A and B are shown apart, each in its own frame.
Chain A
Amino acid sequence: MGVQVQEFENGLVLLGEPIRSLESAAFTFLLPSGAAHDPDQRRGLAALTCDMVQRGCGERDSRQFIEDLENLGVDGGESVSVAHTNFGAAMLADNLAAALAIYAEMLRDPHLPAEQLEASRQVAIQELRAVEDEPGQKAMQELRRHVYGDPWGRPGCGDLVGLEAATIDDVQKQFANCYQPRGTILAVAGNFDWQQLCDTVANLFGDWQVAGAADPPTGGEPTAGGHIEHDSNQTQIGIAYPCVPYRDPDYYQAWGGVGILSGGMSSRLFTEVREKRGLCYSVYASCHSLRDRGSVLCYAGTSAERAQETLDVTLAELQRLAEGIEPVELARLKARMKSSLIMQQESSTARSSAIARDWYHLGDVRTLEVVGKIIDDLSCESINAYLAAHPPSDFTVVTLGPNPLEVSLGTA
């Protein structure tokens, strides 16, 4: 049946992918309330608002809200990225409509109780502090900050100054501006009837009012990487270089190149950095995409005394990619992708988030068949042509650990 699309007059986009072989259904809401929407002096406001809307809505207080969802067996979660607040949930398919009704109330009529603002603030501050104890995550957060500049390089969790300053007025304003149908995507996958779903969503959201919020500014100035002093055993290394974004026609050529670098255990980075030299436990690279820009983000974590060698070897591998890839490497990448696509079909959660992401980036959805065809059509020639035109270069390097490292580039 493929993916169905319904665009409502108020701007809300409903996507549906019925998968009859499943007993479950899952949905993903992407709301235009990301860290990039935070006012400069209130970084973290989207995260704070995300917590506050879950503290009661309509007739339900916060306890009733959670109990009602849990009695329906709704397994939900939320997160704030730079572009969106994401509410996702999976459940037995029979409970889909009832769960959507509760989420509709949360998104449209939350209490935002002033007396619980302090509790929400503490939740957000503690999440911010938790990152401090995860050096790998922190290094990658810093890397994105340097690569994309402000506001698109911001982490979802905000900063302490912004969180401490935020008032209930700020939260109400954020809610009024950003929890609105224009720019919101609701994607559903699993065992449901599309027409029924359209009716349910029309009833719940058809009269949702549009707010006049401005989109966050595009652009942002990248900054050079650098070193962060950290008292630890290991040095965390984050490396980025430019890449076309997801919406670019050449995206899958770029993605193919990165798949040769990092993916299976026979990929280049795993082989050269971990298997041959035993330099680290974890090393990877992946394509990261904003709507208008993208980059390849690469990570390695290793003992401080071996960090320089790890950085050198990793950078050399990234640069060697420009010399091209081999047919056997591409064959393995295609085999991995083929099984990944089929496995995605076994998970309503994976599909609902994938189609929501597609719509945000493309204003369209690629079915698994379409992606399968794109992958089939990749060739060494096409990927090598891309790599020749866009050789990995212009690196941003962030390190976190006891000592700074030297960035030395070969003559690739």
Chain B
Amino acid sequence: MELRETQLDNGLTVMAECNDEAHTCSVGFFVRTGARDETPEVAGVSHFLEHMVFKGTPQRTADDVNREFDEMGAHYNAYTSEESTVYFAAILPEHQDRVVDLWADVLRPSLREDDFDMEKNVIIEEIRMYDDQPPYGADDRCKAAFFAAHPLANSVIGTVESVSNLAVDQMRSYFEERYSPGNIALVGSGKIDFDQLVRKAEEVCGGWQPFETRRNLPRVEPCQEFVTLTKTESTQEYAMEFALAPGSNAEERYAAKVLSVALGDDSGSRLFWDLVDPGLAENASLGHYEYDDAGLFVTYMACAPEACRDNLQRILDLYRQAAVEGIRPSEIDQAKAKITSRVVIASERPRSRLFNVGGSWLHGRPYRSVREDLDALAAVTVDDVARVMEQFPLTRNTTIAVGPLDDVAAPE
């Protein structure tokens, strides 16, 4: 596997991890824009725009777009997060040119008003669907409380109200402020003909006019709160805890991953043994998420409503004890073995490598091969993990409980 990278004159990055042994390839456009780049008046516009990209261009109707992807047998989709909007397709290598051509065209969308009005209904259905699945609202509420005035507090999907009030002109302005070629990378993985990728990119993206884009990176000043959100129709009680963690450019992110697996992996972790194995909670886990200027430790727990208070106390006690006593070397080895195995298995699929390669560009950090990533993981020590716990205490968090209970007492 070999990484190749270049930049067009207009600032568009073209990069690929080329693997001649692969049977397939994946191609994606990674745009450095997301919910954090939105003002409150246009909450949800990044995600709505991601839908509108499939609605056609001066050359293609929406039906043409869907049909052409399907004609290639592409497995394709898109997603929007706080910091990025990503359009990707897994294909057979013979379709490399055609898929780049199609993505490049749709990334200059017409944004027609009647399509906009119709798609608004789909987005509202998406929000209502999530709203019927109790834990989902918790995520946005917890983020808002934790990050407060910081842009990472913004909801990706927005609300029925914010999306209903959006006008197509606001979306067009947002597009013109964010989709500059300097803010976009064309990324490939698997069996990629890189020289051809660059030639094609020149042809179909070379004419995109560059302009300046900015992202605000104000200081993160996290809040500590405890919130109960009542949803009478919910069967279980759900809790989420957000705490600060190493961000996407911190070398400590490897130690943070090891810590999250040792404390809160789905099985074999401390949360598993204390809460899930004894049947006290349906789910209890800890994950690590990375952003440009911060990282997050997210604790998630689901249980019977009457068990919620005690379970939150158990989690708090467990985190306190870990901070005092540290993580044992055997736990660290076990976590590393699990992560290593998952990384290697995932890397067998070009479509999974695409996100590693694109992810490093999104975060503005140097590319690392699978081997280099695993070496960095192997180098994590007991002390590294202890340092992460000291600098990023899991006990300093914002917690939200969502479910049928009117009021959940905070643990002590």
Contacts and interface: CB of A to CB of B under 8 A. Distances in A.
Interface stretch (B127-135, B180-188, B218-226, B314-322): B127-135
B176 interface: no
A24 B70 contact: no
Contacts of B23: 342-343, 345-346
Interface string B51-69: 0001000000011001101
Contact of B279 (A22, A123, A129, A264): A123
A347 interface: yes
B73 A338 contact: yes
A73 B122 contact: no
A331 B118 CA distance: 29
B268 A303 contact: no
Interface string A231-275: 111100000000000000000000000000001111100110011
Contacts of A265: 54, 66, 69-70
Contacts of A336: 70, 73, 75
A72 interface: yes
A263 B71 CA distance: 12
Interface string A300-343: 01110000000000000000000000000001101111111011
B74 A339 contact: yes
Interface string B270-294: 0001001111111100000000000
Interface residues of A, number: 74
A130 B302 contact: yes
A66 interface: yes
A100 interface: no
Nearest to B65: A265
A67 interface: yes
Contacts of B283: 130
A21 to B, nearest CB: 6
B350 A337 contact: no
A276 to B, nearest CB: 8
B361 to A, nearest CB: 23
Contacts of A271: 63, 66
A27 B21 CA distance: 24
Given A62-B277, A123-B279, A233-B131, A133 B234 contact: yes
B306 interface: no
Interface residues of B, number: 68
A129 B348 contact: no
A97 to B, nearest CB: 15
Interface in B64-119: 66-67, 69-75, 90-92, 118-119
Interface in A267-292: 267, 270-271, 274-282
A376 interface: no
B6 interface: no
A47 interface: no
A342 B24 contact: yes
A122 to B, nearest CB: 3
B334 A67 contact: yes
B231 to A, nearest CB: 9
A119 B279 contact: yes
A73 B236 contact: no
Contacts of B348: 22-24, 346-348
A118 B277 CA distance: 11
B92 A339 contact: yes
A126 interface: yes
Interface string A98-128: 0000000000000000000011111101110
A271 B55 CA distance: 12
A91 interface: yes
Contacts of B349: 343, 346-347
A278 B345 contact: no
A278 B134 CA distance: 24
Contact of A118 (B22, B71, B122, B279): B279
A47 B206 CA distance: 57
Contacts of A337: 73
A149 interface: no
Contacts of B267: 66, 70
Contact of B70 (A119, A122, A266): A266
Interface in A124-183: 125-127, 129-130, 132-136
Contacts of B132: 135, 232-234
Given A71-B337, A275-B66, A342 B92 contact: yes
Of A91, A126, A232, A263, which is in contact with the most chain B CB atoms at under 10 Å from its CB?
Answer: A126
A364 interface: no
A75 B341 contact: yes
Of B91, B338, B345, B348, which is in contact with the most chain A CB atoms at under 10 Å from its CB?
Answer: B345
A342 B92 CA distance: 8
A71 B280 CA distance: 26
A263 B125 CA distance: 20
Contacts of A66: 267-268
Of A271, A276, A302, A332, which is in contact with the most chain B CB atoms at under 10 Å from its CB?
Answer: A332
6 contacts: A66-B267, A130-B282, A130-B283, A230-B233, A342-B24, A342-B92
Given A125-B279, A130-B302, 16 more contacts: A24-B344, A73-B341, A118-B279, A119-B279, A121-B279, A231-B233, A233-B131, A267-B70, A274-B122, A282-B129, A332-B70, A336-B73, A340-B75, A343-B23, A343-B75, A346-B348
Interface of A: 21-24, 62-63, 66-67, 69-75, 90-92, 118-123, 125-127, 129-130, 132-136, 230-234, 263-267, 270-271, 274-282, 301-303, 331-332, 334-340, 342-343, 345-349
Interface of B: 21-24, 54, 62-63, 66-67, 69-75, 90-92, 118-126, 128-129, 131-135, 232-236, 267-268, 273, 276-283, 302-304, 330, 333-334, 337-338, 340-342, 344-345, 348-351
